[in-house]
Structures are given as structure tokens and as C-alpha cells.
Amino acid sequence: MDNNVTIKDLTESLQNEGTDITFVENEEFLNTLGEGKDAGAWSVKIFSIIGAWIGACLLVGFLGLAQLFESTPALFIVGIPLTVGAVIGSHSFRKTTFLDPFTLALGILGQILLIAGFGTSELFSEDFWQYLLWIGILIEGVILYFTLNPLQKFLSVILINIFLLSFFGIERLYEFVHIMVGLLAIAFTYLWINEVEILKKYKIAYHNYFPVLFAIIVSLVMVLAFTVNREWYHEFADVDLWWISSVFLMACCLFTVHHILIRFELKQHYYLILGLAGFLLLPSIMAPGLAASFLILLLGFYRGHKITLGLGLICLIYFMSAFYYNLNTTLLIKSALLFTSGVLFFTGRYILNYIFKVEGV
């Protein structure tokens, strides 16, 4: 919070001196930097969200008791106004403590009713019900574009990826999972590295950047968690060629290392550090979850973002355990692989410490 106030004071002083700062043209964005968010404000917000969800569920429960959901038209009649009303409410009640989460809760329930309405419609037989997923993607895409609620944007991006993943599973398009992982990894890396440039150039980014960014991170982890661990999602048990996903993720890791070296002008040992990073990533060639964890950790360290770092550590622990559990080999080879990986990382740590000491970093 002190950092936020400092940033706002700094930008105001620079503007008073006549310095052109294009990324602070949005007055609303500047005002949010100086907002004080104490523990009391957060507790009120948390209780208001809980109360909003309870109220929304009670409302839908009452409508259910009134037998409004026994027919397809009733699902549309209730679902459409709830969804549209939530989008309008995100514009009208943005700074209202209770109404903002209440409209969000109603909007999510409305989306569920809409998709259920399409599912029970005579337009869809058993052979075509998978197209409901594309209707869900369309609905979430429209909501993502029009709503101003950051949590709704976050959920819309995640739901779009869930629908896509489900469609690939239903149609047995297993190898498209690798393309999905690659696109998510590239988007995550690009958005995280170019944060300042994006916020400076695009005014629309003020309301979209962080909800979409964190939704992409969660979606990447979610896709890998459901497809790598075959005990969770049997439909993706036939996914093969995991090295394709790993290549995308390793390339993003190396690009991030390249960007950091250029950013901090560490040119003397540029190729040595880049080669060492590639060597350390080699054990993850058949474990894309590990490569994704390294990417999240790397970008979290670069941006100094504690939430991203924490997520990266959790992912590393989970995917390391999943890799060890799912590896179809003897216990001795599993132990040898883990031991070798540990030795490689410790060796890389000491080499990097020596290089940075020579560079004076």
C-alpha cells in the first residue's frame, strides 16, 4: 500500500514538472493507486461477497421451488435477464460493496441456466450436445468483452479454456492440448514481460490486463494438471508426445532468461547463462508441468510478484510429485532421476552465483 501511494505521488510530481507520462492518462487508474485497503475494508468485502452468494442462491432456490426450471423456455427466461443484468450491473454498481458481488453471483448462475437451457433444448440431440461447449465459449467471450467486473473476466477466461479442453477430450483431439498449452504459455510470457508497454499503449488494458493475465496462469496450470495426471481425467489418458508442450514452455523460459540478461545488461556471460538454463531445463523435456512451474517461478522472480512465486512453488511440488508417481519405471530409476535433477540445480546455482559475482550483480 505504501508502494501504491509512492507511485501515485511520483507520477503526480512528474506531471507537475511537465514530464509526459502517457500511461497515467486514465484518471481512474491513478485514483486506484492511492486507495487505502485496510483489514477492515477487506473483511467487509469478504462478508459482502459471502452474503451476495447466499442471497443469489436463495433467489434461484426460490425460483426452483416455484417450478420455473422444469421447462427449457423457463431456463432461458430466467438465465438471459440474469446474465445481461450482471453485465449491466458491472457498469452501474462497480463501487457498491454489496451490489457488485451480488450481480456477479447472479450472472454466474444465469450463465449456468443458459447453458442448461441449450442442453435441454430440442435443437441438440445426443450426437450434437458437444456443441454446447462452443455456445458456452461464445457466451463467456461476450461477457469477457462487455463486463467490467474483474472477477467475472477472470472466470470467463478460465471457463473458455475449460470448455476448449472438454471439447478436445470429447472429440478425441488429444494432440490439440499441446497447441493449447503453447498458446497459453506464449500469452502468459508476453503479457508478463511487456506489462508496462501494454498499460501505456492500450487504455482498454486497465480493466482487462490483470484478470486476464492471472486467468491465463491458472488455465495453464489447470490444463496440465488435468492432462498430465491420468488418474484425474481418464479421457486424456491417450495424450502423447508431451515433449511438444515442453518445447513451447522451455522456449518461453529461455526467452525470459534472454530478456532478463538484456534488461540487466549481463552480456559478458550471455551465452554461458543461456546455455546453462537450457541444460537445466532438459530434465523437463518429458514433464511439461515442471517446465511450466519453472516458467511461472522465473517470471514471478523477474516481476517480484509474491502470488505468482507462491503459485509456481505449489505447481513445482505438485508436478514433481505427479511426474514421480506416473513415471512407468522402477523405483531405483525414479530415485536416480530425482537425485540427478537436484544435483543439476545445485550446480547451476553455484555457477550462476559465481557469474553474478564476477559481473558485480
pLDDT digits (tens, 9 = 90+) for 265-292: 777 778 888 888 888 888 788 788 889 9
For 98, phi then psi, to 5°, come to -95, -45
User: Pick the residue with more confidence: 51 or 179?
Assistant: 179
Residue 333 reports pLDDT greater than 50: yes
Q: What angle do CA 141, 298, 326 make, to 5 degrees?
A: 80
Q: How far apart are CA 33 and CA 52, in angstroms?
A: 27
Q: What angle do CA 268, 274, 280 make, to 5 degrees?
A: 135
> Do 143 and 107 form a contact (C-beta atoms < 8 A)?
yes
Q: DSSP character for 202?
A: -
Give the model's confidence band at 36: pLDDT under 50 very low, under 70 low, under 90 confident, else very high: very low
Write the single-letter amino acid at 308.
T
Give the model's confidence band at 33: pLDDT under 50 very low, under 70 low, under 90 confident, else very high: very low
| Mean pLDDT score across all residues of the chain | 76
pTM: 0.74
**145 three-state secondary structure:** helix
Residue 190 reports pLDDT greater than 50: yes
Angle at which helix 150-170 crosses helix 131-146, to 10 degrees, equals 160
Angle at which helix 131-146 crosses helix 72-92, to 10 degrees, equals 20
pLDDT digits (tens, 9 = 90+) for 71-120: 777 777 778 888 888 888 877 777 676 677 777 777 878 877 777 776 66
**7 three-state secondary structure:** helix
